[in-house]
């Protein structure tokens, strides 16, 4: 990995609607279905990126930064609540409070935070769609978000079923602790993937392996 | 050693060299910083929302405040350690950045507020403390920690 393309003291935001549209990838890196899918995604991203509001949002220093700031600060509401719930489920925090009370009472603020994060996240994507679509980190983030969602659904069901037997125990059963540990780990990697989107380590157009071009979905530009 | 000399030394130190040279390591530090910020925010909000009677109303507020404070200290320690590493990589830029100093001032105020005001007060039996005072402490706490986080984010934009 090279040095950071942006430091935290440089706008990580105004990275470039640069000419990824005109990038020609190694033809062998994309074949068949994945090539068609990536071309479709790129065409959609180019269409989105050409919209006046997308350009305006990207070029508006304050608007873009306020949205990104809201996205990051809402971590404290959404992930803050989630981490407290997960730590209780691991049996290491607030052990004198029934686990179900922590989970149920913090669910609403957590979901409010989640909603704000989704809305601001979509706006951030809307502002820089072409580069983001071809970011390996963004793709990883989306996959991990789906995985975290599935884990949360399984975790919630497991918790409901087992609640009468362990709710007052300081340490929940092993399968609940495993779910909480997995949730914590997934979200920490999601934060990393989100942060890494700002770096240009594996951007299309760089001299990199066919695998990375495949993973980032680099395709020859239809716009040429 | 004055403040500027310290920042110059920090940037030239081994820590500064690692932070500057290895983007991957820097991104990991940012991730740790953000994750611990989320945890710190979670513990602050859980306590303050309870004091404001917004969340966990059927759980004794003493239990919430005591349980959350333990993890607040853990989160604060990790934030400070990862923050020192991060600033080492961009020490001179930080030195000349107004928002960096605003964040440091807010952080100092936040730490002072927690350990000199909030915690000593919340260690007592909450039923003996006037409700308005608990609510005032909660609002002040949310305000000060929001200021720290917002200034931190804005460092990157200025």
Residue A116 maps to a domain: yes
Here the ipTM equals 0.94
Q: Is B98 helix (H, G, I), strand (E, B) or coil?
A: helix
Give per-residue pLDDT as tens, B91-127: 999 999 999 999 999 999 999 999 999 999 999 999 9
Give per-residue pLDDT as tens, A22-43: 454 445 556 688 888 999 999 9
Inspect the interface and report whether the beta carbons of B35 and A94 lie closer than 8 Å. no
- How many domains does chain A fold into? 1
A190 CA: distance to closest CA in chain B (Å): 9
Distance of alpha carbon B98 from alpha carbon B111, whole angstroms: 20
Q: At what angle do helices B3-12 and B61-89 cross, to 10 degrees?
A: 70
Residue A121 maps to a domain: yes
Give the closest of A7, A69, A76 to B38, CB-based.
A76
On whether any CB of chain A is under 8 Å from the CB of B38, the answer is yes
Listed in sequence order, the residues at least 6 apart from A100 whose beta carbon sits closer than 8 Å to its beta carbon are: A159, A163, A167
In the prediction, which pLDDT does A3 show? 39
Residue A10 maps to a domain: no
On whether any CB of chain B is under 8 Å from the CB of A187, the answer is yes
On whether any CB of chain B is under 8 Å from the CB of A118, the answer is no
Closest to A181 (Cα-Cα) out of A155, A202, A158: A155
B51 band by pLDDT with thresholds 50, 70 and 90: very high
Residue A75 domain boundaries: 56-201
Residue A110 maps to a domain: yes
On whether any CB of chain A is under 8 Å from the CB of B39, the answer is yes
Residue A46 maps to a domain: no
Flag the least confident range among A28-37, A125-134, A172-181, B51-60. A28-37
Residue A213 maps to a domain: no
Sequence spans of domains, chain B: 3-155
What is the overall mean pLDDT for chain B? 95
Residue ranges of A 7-66 with Cβ closer than 8 A to chain B: 7-13, 61, 65
B21 CA: distance to closest CA in chain A (Å): 6
Inspect the interface and report whether the beta carbons of B42 and A65 lie closer than 8 Å. no
Whether the predicted pLDDT of B30 surpasses 60: yes
Give per-residue pLDDT as tens, B144-154: 999 999 998 88
- Nearest-Cα residue of chain B relative to residue A12: B156
């Amino acid at each position: 990995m090279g040095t950071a393309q942006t430091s935290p003291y440089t706008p990580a935001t105004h990275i470039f609607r640069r000419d990824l549209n005109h990038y020609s990838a190694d033809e062998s890196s994309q074949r068949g279905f994945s090539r068609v899918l990536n071309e479709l995604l790129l065409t959609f991203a180019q269409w989105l990126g050409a919209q006046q509001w997308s350009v305006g949002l990207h070029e508006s220093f304050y608007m873009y930064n306020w949205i990104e700031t809201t996205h990051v600060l809402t971590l404290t509401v959404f992930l803050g609540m989630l981490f407290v719930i997960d730590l209780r489920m691991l049996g290491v925090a607030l052990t004198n409070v029934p686990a179900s009370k922590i989970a149920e009472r913090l669910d609403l603020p957590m979901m409010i935070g989640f909603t704000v994060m989704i809305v601001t996240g979509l706006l951030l994507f809307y502002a820089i769609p072409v580069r983001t679509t071809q970011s390996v980190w963004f793709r990883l983030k989306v996959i991990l978000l789906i995985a975290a969602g599935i884990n949360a659904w399984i975790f919630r069901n497991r918790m409901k079923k087992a609640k009468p037997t362990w709710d007052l125990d300081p340490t929940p059963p092993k399968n609940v602790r495993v779910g909480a540990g997995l949730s914590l780990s997934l979200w920490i990697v999601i934060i990393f993937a989100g942060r890494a989107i700002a770096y240009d380590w594996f951007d299309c157009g760089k001299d990199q392996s066919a695998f990375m071009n495949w993973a980032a979905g680099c395709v020859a530009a239809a716009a040429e | 050693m004055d403040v500027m000399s310290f920042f110059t030394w920090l940037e030239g130190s081994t820590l500064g060299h690692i932070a500057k040279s290895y983007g991957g390591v820097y991104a990991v530090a940012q991730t740790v910083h953000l994750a611990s910020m989320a945890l710190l925010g979670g513990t602050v909000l859980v306590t303050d929302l309870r004091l404001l009677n917004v969340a966990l109303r059927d759980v004794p507020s003493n239990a919430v405040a005591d349980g959350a404070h333990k993890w607040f200290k853990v989160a604060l320690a990790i934030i400070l350690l990862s923050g020192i590493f991060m600033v080492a990589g961009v020490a001179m830029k930080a030195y000349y950045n107004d928002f960096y100093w605003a964040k440091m001032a807010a952080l100092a105020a936040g730490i002072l507020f927690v350990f000199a005001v909030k915690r000593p007060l919340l260690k007592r039996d909450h039923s003996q403390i006037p409700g308005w005072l608990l609510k005032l402490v909660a609002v002040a706490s949310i305000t000060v920690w929001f200021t720290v986080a917002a200034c931190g984010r804005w460092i990157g934009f200025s």
